[in-house]
Amino acid sequence: MSEQLLKNTGKLSGFFLRRDRLRIPIWLLSITALTLAIASYFTNLYPTAQEREAIAATMENPAMIAMVGPGYGLDNYTFGAMMAHQMLLLTAVAVGIMNILLVTRHTRSDEEAGRIEMIRSLPTGRLANLSAAIAVLFGTNGFLALAVGFGLFALQIESMDLFGSLLYGAALGATGIFFTGLTALFAQLTSSSRGTTGLSISALLLAYLIRGIGDVSYEALSWLSPFGWILKSEVYVNNYWWPILLTLGVSLFLVILAFYLNRIRDLEAGFLPAKPGRKTASPLLQSPLALMIRLQRTSIIAWAIGLYVLGASYGSVMGDLEDFFDKNEALQQLLKPVPGFSLTEQFIPLLMTIMAIISTIPTLMALLKLSSEEKKNRTESLLALAISRTRLLGSSFVVAVATSLIILSCAVIGLWSAGAATMDEPISLGTYYKAALVYLPAIWAMIGLTVLLIGIAPRWTNLTWAYLIYSFVVVYLGRLLEFPEWMSNLSPYGHIPQLPVEEMDFMNISFVTLVALGLTIIGFIGYNRRDIYG
Amino acid sequence: MSLLITKNLTKKFGSFTALKNVNLEVKEGEVFGFIGPNGAGKSTTIRILLGILKATAGEAKIFGLDAWKDAVEIHKRIAYVPGDVNLWPNLTGGEVIDFFIKLRGANPKGRRDELIERFALDPTKKCRTYSKGNRQKVALIAAFSSDADLYIFDEPTSGLDPLMERTFQEYVLEVKKEGKSVFLSSHILSEVERLCDRIGIIREGEIIETGTLDELRHLTRTHLLVKTKQPITDLDHLPGVHDVLEKDGAFSLHVDPEHLDHVMKHISQFGITKLESAPPTLEDLFMRHYEVTQGAGGVSQCQNNS
């Protein structure tokens, strides 16, 4: 019986580990390193109990509770309590995503690509593939739990003892195992890897969301979410282990259900009915522009929501910003006081730089979609129709420019709406908007550069990402680390006036816009002259 | 009247010469077969014709317009099906067909549904779920629904089953009847033989033969299968005889056309009990060219490289 079901699970597990010999270590290393780095960063940022008390006070607003969870031990805000409060939930989300991606990769993705068919044609058990995937991920999560647990303890930070640190690691590992089980189950229900990832990520977001609502208003709701459970372990404060056991128990149930469903279904079938798509195209889908929008709408909407949330999370701390700066020397270094402006107002340009640079990411992705279409040999089908190259590149260009405007607006609206809710004297939407819109020419310069690369150096389009990272480092971190000015002048973001603190500078803005225009024009000419690869 | 003409078309990728002085001509209302081994330059030629690649030298004209400069104008009257159809995974087949039809400007709705039925495609499925053959059907349906003057097919049936292959051939003959022209690049020699009025053979970037099938047939040998009362002797040494095989007292051999008379006289001395002859096929023609040019091509290649 078990021969029939599980034969060669061990060998398959070894094979998965080999296929993931870089992927899994990179995930583990990133999550562990980030956790340890932030724990030690906290000790530098808030060295005294007084400073920690100040930050604890800013945590008691609904926006923060919704975002990072209810604070335990706020009255005695030790480093441990701070870590468990501010980092545990967000890290658990990252661990959840890791598990969703890895499980899908080894279950539905392989099945969809016909690779499991080949595995099954060999003398392997019917459930060997699923059990190997689950075994590998259980091991990965277990390893993560121990690495984080012992790693945190090894930092020897006061209030972070061995028992608490191991519980912190175990909370992450248990969340991971829960999402392994959930994704394994969804991999049986849906019949495509996209469906599996989509359903699992939706479940993760839903779990995060209902826990947020539960923690803020109606506590019983939090009991429906695995994130709610693990936060109840109150790591470093009361150190309860039962939430870990609860999470593992439910995970085990999910895994058993997944095995059962896998056993009774056909290969490449799913339990959820695949709904038939449109038989004919919508009347709107009749231009390359419409196609580009159609192909990217989900990703653009997701980024818009993401940037709104990012803006809102910055906005939610706006009200407490003055207190925050008063009591913290590290943050004061970031901003040199300017007479006539409040600290909050001075904080705006810094936020706008970050949000403008982040908004550039989906913008460039929208443009570079054309490159990936070319690599997948689909541009050929379009150019074989009565579509000129100028029109094709122009469509991507229009989508990119529109994306920059939409995404940046969402970030600003998020910042403004959450800011207005928490501040005694809210800053007007207009002030925020002006400070954000001046960054559009810099984003357009990045668009121009990307069009140029697509037009004349299509194999080097990734350079644009390197330049964006450079811009982020010199313009944002440059302030902290005091880089020489010419370094930030090499980035378009360095030429943008810092509204509302600085005066509007039309010279600089026009200069950046003209550069953007020039690059774009050369790019279009190049695209009309070169070969299309594929 | 010629719809499509190339003159000394040459394409280099870096130092590699993919096409060398390619001269082609497709006349109005004819089906032109374009054959050659993998990597010979068939797809490169087609991509230049579509204005997707720019020729290094020479010219390509369709409808009297330049394939590179007037690409958009030309494409309004062209339908193209690539050999490896890549579609957008999150659109359905029906959406893609409509999109292609609309962008080409035509809108013969009735034809679309008829084609979907004839090719037995489920247009409600996402392209992600389609097999290679089904993706090919999407492109073929979109192509045949459009009212083009020139159809360019690059190995269009490579993923289709024999029934669908026949459906494809029927539609090619139908558009031909309407006076349209077809440029068909293919590996399936029987298909080319059945559909094409004229063929061009390309090898290592050079056109080595063009003409009607009949014009080219003189180059090939007739295949004979004979059985005689007495065993035939001296067959190997006769001029014009090749590839002699003996099996159960029967002989299989290839004979050059100019020596056929002479060979038959020789064989008849032994008392023929069974005789089968097969006309030269395109396959023989192709294979023979392949063999012949392999030697000659090898030499010229060496000269090129030095």
Report pLDDT digits (tens) over A400-455: 999 999 999 999 999 998 888 878 888 889 999 999 999 999 999 999 999 999 99
B104 touches chain A (CB under 8 A): yes
Regarding predicted confidence, which is higher, A201 or B102?
A201
User: pLDDT grade, residue B306 (50/70/90)?
Assistant: very low
B247: which strand partners? B250
What pLDDT does residue A8 have? Answer: 87
What pLDDT does residue A324 have? Answer: 67
Cβ contacts of B50 on chain A, cutoff 8 Å: 380, 383-384
**A453-472: pLDDT as tens digits:** 999 999 999 999 999 989 98
User: pLDDT grade, residue A188 (50/70/90)?
Assistant: very high
- Per the CB < 8 Å rule, is B52 touching A384? yes
Buried (b) or exposed (e) across A189-223, using 16+ Cβ within 10 A? bbbbbbbbbbbbbebbeebbebbbebbbeeeebbe
Question: Which residue from A minimizes the CA distance to B84?
Answer: A377
- Per the CB < 8 Å rule, is A277 touching B92? yes
Give B 65-94 residues with CB within 8 A of chain A. Answer: 71-73, 75-76, 78, 80, 82, 84-88, 90-92, 94
Over chain B, what is the mean pLDDT? 86
Quote the minimal CA–CA distance from B52 to chain A in Å.
Answer: 5
Helix (H) or strand (E) holding A292: helix A288-315
What pLDDT does residue B10 have? Answer: 95
Question: Which residue from A minimizes the CA distance to B95?
Answer: A281
**What percent of chain B has a predicted confidence (pLDDT) above 70?**
92
Tokens representing residue A26 in the block: 């990179």
User: pLDDT grade, residue B299 (50/70/90)?
Assistant: very low
d(CA A158, CA B247): 93
- Per the CB < 8 Å rule, is B104 touching A295? no
Regarding predicted confidence, which is higher, B217 or A103?
A103
What pLDDT does residue B84 have? Answer: 85
Regarding predicted confidence, which is higher, B166 or A284?
B166
Cβ contacts of B54 on chain A, cutoff 8 Å: 529-531
d(CA A520, CA A515): 8
Angle A268-A270-A273 from CA coordinates, rounded to 5° = 130
- Per the CB < 8 Å rule, is B95 touching A282? yes
Pick the range with the lowest mean pLDDT from A17-31, A375-389, B90-104, B161-175.
B90-104
B140 touches chain A (CB under 8 A): no
Which contacts of A267-272 are long-range, i.e. CB under 8 A and separated by 24 or more positions? Answer: A267/A111, A267/A116, A267/A117, A267/A120, A268/A111, A268/A112, A268/A117, A268/A191, A269/A191, A270/A188, A270/A189, A270/A190, A270/A191, A270/A192, A270/A195, A271/A188, A271/A189, A272/A189, A272/A190, A272/A191, A272/A195
Over chain A, what is the mean pLDDT? 89
What pLDDT does residue B297 have? Answer: 39
Chain-centroid distance of CA A505 in Å reads 34
Quote the minimal CA–CA distance from B121 to chain A in Å.
Answer: 11
Candidates B66, B80, B86: best to mutate against A (most CBs of A within 10 A) is B86
User: pLDDT grade, residue A345 (50/70/90)?
Assistant: confident
Of B135, B118, B117, B137, which Cα lies nearest the Cα of B127? B135
Residue A349, pLDDT > 70, answer yes
Question: Which residue from B minimizes the CA distance to A372?
Answer: B88
What pLDDT does residue A304 have? Answer: 94
Cβ contacts of B123 on chain A, cutoff 8 Å: 279-280
Helix (H) or strand (E) holding B184: strand B181-185
What pLDDT does residue B303 have? Answer: 35
Cβ contacts of A282 on chain B, cutoff 8 Å: 95
**What percent of chain B has a predicted confidence (pLDDT) above 90?**
42
Mean pLDDT of the A339-346 span: 79
Quote the minimal CA–CA distance from B100 to chain A in Å.
Answer: 7
Cβ contacts of B49 on chain A, cutoff 8 Å: none
* DSSP conformational letter for B276: E
What pLDDT does residue A187 have? Answer: 96
Cβ contacts of A296 on chain B, cutoff 8 Å: none
- Per the CB < 8 Å rule, is B78 touching A378? no
B52 touches chain A (CB under 8 A): yes
User: pLDDT grade, residue B301 (50/70/90)?
Assistant: very low
**B6-52: pLDDT as tens digits:** 999 999 988 899 999 999 999 999 999 999 888 889 999 999 999 88
With a threshold of 0.95, tell me whether the complex ipTM lies above it.
no
- Per the CB < 8 Å rule, is A378 touching B86? yes
Candidates A111, A369, A380: best to mutate against B (most CBs of B within 10 A) is A380
Cβ contacts of B85 on chain A, cutoff 8 Å: 381
A193 Cβ partners below 8 Å, 6+ apart?
A104, A105, A108, A109, A111, A112
Question: Which residue from A minimizes the CA distance to B75?
Answer: A386
- Per the CB < 8 Å rule, is A285 touching B95? yes
Residue type, B125: K
Regarding predicted confidence, which is higher, A319 or A395?
A395
A386 touches chain B (CB under 8 A): yes
**A50-108: pLDDT as tens digits:** 888 888 877 777 767 877 888 888 888 999 999 999 899 999 999 999 999 999 999 99
Quote the minimal CA–CA distance from B245 to chain A in Å.
Answer: 41
Mean pLDDT of the A3-26 span: 89
- Per the CB < 8 Å rule, is A385 touching B103? yes
Residue B305, pLDDT > 50, answer no
Phi, then psi, of A309 in degrees rounded to 5 = -65, -40
Give A 190-219 residues with CB within 8 A of chain B. Answer: 192, 194
Residue with tokens 């000129």: A388
Question: Which residue from A minimizes the CA distance to B116?
Answer: A279
- Per the CB < 8 Å rule, is B98 touching A281? yes
What pLDDT does residue A50 have? Answer: 85
Tokens representing residue A323 in the block: 């207190």
**B127-156: pLDDT as tens digits:** 888 999 999 999 999 999 988 999 999 999
Of A391, A438, A385, which Cα lies nearest the Cα of A289? A391
| C-alpha distances out from residue B135 to A211, B97, B139, Å | 44, 11, 7
Angle between helical axes of A506-529 and A389-422 (0-180°, round to 10)? 150
